[in-house]
Amino acid sequence: MLHTEIVIREAVPNDIKKIMELLYLKAKFDGCPESLKATTEQLNNDLFGTTPLTSILLAEVGGKAVGFASYHRIYSTFLAKPGIWLDDLYLKAEYRGQKIGKALMTHLYQIAEETGCGRIDWTVNINNFQGINFYEKIGAKIIEKVRLCRLKIQ
């Protein structure tokens, strides 16, 4: 049972080690820890360099990082509005079901509203029933008619 306040905040450079730990746990959860190629140096540059490419929200309970949401800006030509692409959402297993994921998504939604976005998009694994249920509970529409396409660059 959660007895401590949930804090959602933007990551800062001193959080890189925490972020790397959470990324590894996310890769393990996804069943592909060997695919994690991120380094602390690359993440530091991509998150906090002169031209940041992405952002990370950290979820903390009792001062301990327990989850994160990574996201970046997108644009919808159909809406003629910016949007947010949620790249990863992850919570340590022992912290799931305690409204921390909802707090992360609420914070991300507030960022989207404040910056004039038309929507937030993301993917979810078709076998992640817990995740799908969570997303539907917060009002997300699962669109079955589209497929993720990936063109890998050497």
Q: Distance between CA atoms of 106 and 94, rounded to whole angstroms?
A: 21
135 catalytic? Reply is: yes
Region of residue 28 (phi > 0: left; psi between -120 and 50: alpha; otherwise: beta): alpha
Report d(CA 122, CA 27) in Å as an integer. Answer: 17
Q: How far apart are CA 119 and CA 79, in angstroms?
A: 9
Catalytic member of 24, 71, 75, 135:
135
**Coil, helix or strand for 114?**
helix
DSSP strand E in the chain: where? 6-10, 55-61, 64-76, 81-91, 120-121
Catalytic machinery residues: 135
